[in-house]
């Protein structure tokens, strides 16, 4: 299954140090950029990210990043 582009730009999210976030890698979640278990019918799995500090993180919205779950700018070439 090809990953669905949920947004053609990153999701800026304020994360808290020590918290773990499950980033949706399939693009089907209705709670983007986080997993809501919609991947169950795909071969995709969520990517767990644990924040080491409290700050704004730019989670990938196009799901094509080479450095999941973070935006690497690849949406600009889609």
Domain count within the chain: 1
Number of neighbours of residue 58 by Cβ within 10 angstroms: 17
How many residues comprise the chain? Answer: 78
For the chain, how big is the Rg over CA atoms in Å?
12
pTM of the model: 0.92
Range of the domain at 62: 11-77
**Residue 1's pLDDT is what?**
64
On whether residue 6 sits in a domain, the answer given is no
Q: Is residue 52 part of a domain?
A: yes
pLDDT in tens, 37-61: 999 988 999 999 999 999 999 999 9
Percent with pLDDT over 70 in the chain: 99
Residue 30 domain-assigned?
Answer: yes
Residue 1 lies in a domain: no
Look at residue 5 and tell me if it is in a domain.
no
The runs of H, that is alpha helices, within the chain are: none
């Amino acid at each position: 299954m090809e990953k669905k582009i949920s947004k053609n730009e990153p999701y800026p999210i304020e994360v808290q140090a020590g918290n773990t976030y499950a980033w949706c890698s399939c693009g089907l979640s209705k709670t983007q950029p986080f997993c809501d278990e919609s991947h169950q019918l795909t071969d995709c799995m969520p990517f767990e990210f644990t924040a080491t500090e409290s700050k704004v993180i730019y989670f990938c919205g196009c799901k094509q990043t080479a450095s999941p779950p973070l935006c690497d700018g690849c949406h600009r070439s889609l």
